[in-house]
Amino acid sequence: MEIKIRLGRTPSALVLAALILSWSAASALAQDASVVYLEGEPELRTTQGSTEWLDFGTSLRAGESVVTGRNDFVELAYGDASTIEVQPDTVFTVREVERGGERRTVMSNSAGAVKYRFNRLTGRNEPDIGTSSVVAGVRGTEVAVYAGGEGSSLFVVESGEVEVTSAGRTVSLTQDEAVEVPAGGPPGEKYSVIGRELNHADWNANRLDAFLDDPLAGLEGVADRLEEYAVDAAEWYQNYLDAKEVSDAAFAQIGEIEDNEERQEYREETWQPLAEQTGNAVLNYRYHALSALSLRRHALGSMYMEMKTRNILSPTEEYAEFQDRFAEIVDAFDSQADQYLEDTDI
């Protein structure tokens, strides 16, 4: 089966967001994540959709991704004394989202494993961390985040605190505690990792085996999360249209003001906050659409390949049902989420 993606077109919104972000000092990441060590030939995927070799000193900015292969490893420095270790076979991305009037950095791995070591950032908010299906808040934390090939997530805390919220349930983790989160579902019960040896390869293999025991149920979890992203993207896109209408009207009003001082005051106090609100709406609908794309690409695509590989010679009735449901989910993604994506996202 060929997976098809229809590309959306929202260039005017993206151009507007870029302009607004350039006006605001809050538009930059709180701090850049810079490469301080690497092994192999890891790659950087830029916001323009191009791929470059990663190098020492490279700064990872919002919208960019580090992609590692089987023999690759990358260590990033974040702030004064915080580090991020991107393990082999991982896709690690930095994005921004606006929540409660505050712009936040979100770091996630849609595949593979990432280990974080955050010192408390004096006067700054620590980033949110997670996978393409769930995001968690951290406080002075050492934590490993695993992304499963079927959309699940695992958080393992070495020190500090992590709050994992999904499907209306929050689990708080402290030292030597872990929790698994199925795609589209609430976190499971937390458990102690003392005396356990955990690694991403073994954990992911177990998760894929569990998926193969009931592949249709696995599909439904991813489908539920994709639908949530699509609903959020649509809501924020409508917020963008509404905000842009008000912002455009305010901008037109600027030209009607003859007094220079009054015009400048109106621009700064009335129009610019409206323009920033418009830009934040763009930021948010793009965040949800790109999160959906990551989940669809790395979880849904992985599930499809696992099933196809095992059914090449003797396709089962279950595989036929899986293909039908898979096609429905991809069609729903095409009609609901990808209208908010750009050519460079693919």
Question: What pLDDT digit, counting tens, does each position of 137-155 carry?
Answer: 998 889 999 999 999 999 9
Mean pLDDT of 51-80: 94
Instruction: Look up residue 264 and give its amino acid.
Output: Q
What pLDDT, on the 0 to 100 scale, is given for residue 126?
Answer: 79
Mean pLDDT of 210-223: 96
- Which residue in 159, 184, 194, 153 sits closest to 173, CA to CA? 159
What pLDDT, on the 0 to 100 scale, is given for residue 56?
Answer: 95
**Is the pLDDT score of 218 beyond 90?**
yes
CB 43 within 8 A of CB 63: no
Instruction: Look up residue 153 and give its amino acid.
Output: S
What pLDDT, on the 0 to 100 scale, is given for residue 102?
Answer: 85
Question: Hey, where are the domains in the chain?
Answer: 31-213, 216-345
**Is the pLDDT score of 1 beyond 50?**
no
The two structure tokens encoding residue 226: 């994709």
Question: What pLDDT digit, counting tens, does each position of 256-292 carry?
Answer: 999 999 999 999 999 999 999 999 999 999 999 999 9
**Is the pLDDT score of 24 beyond 60?**
no
- Which value, in Å, is the radius of gyration of the alpha carbons in the chain? 21
What pLDDT, on the 0 to 100 scale, is given for residue 125?
Answer: 66
What pLDDT, on the 0 to 100 scale, is given for residue 254?
Answer: 95
Other CB atoms within 10 Å distance of the CB of residue 121: 17
Residue-averaged pLDDT of the chain: 90
**Is the pLDDT score of 15 beyond 60?**
no
Give the percent of the chain with pLDDT over 90.
Answer: 81
Query: What distance in Å separates the CA atoms of residue 323 and residue 10, rounded to the nearest whole number?
Result: 31
**pLDDT grade for 190, boundaries at 50, 70 and 90:** very high
**Is the pLDDT score of 314 beyond 50?**
yes
**pLDDT grade for 123, boundaries at 50, 70 and 90:** very low
**pLDDT grade for 121, boundaries at 50, 70 and 90:** low
Question: What pLDDT digit, counting tens, does each position of 92-120 carry?
Answer: 999 999 988 888 999 999 999 999 999 86
Domain 31-213 fold is Jelly Rolls (2.60.120)
What pLDDT, on the 0 to 100 scale, is given for residue 25?
Answer: 37
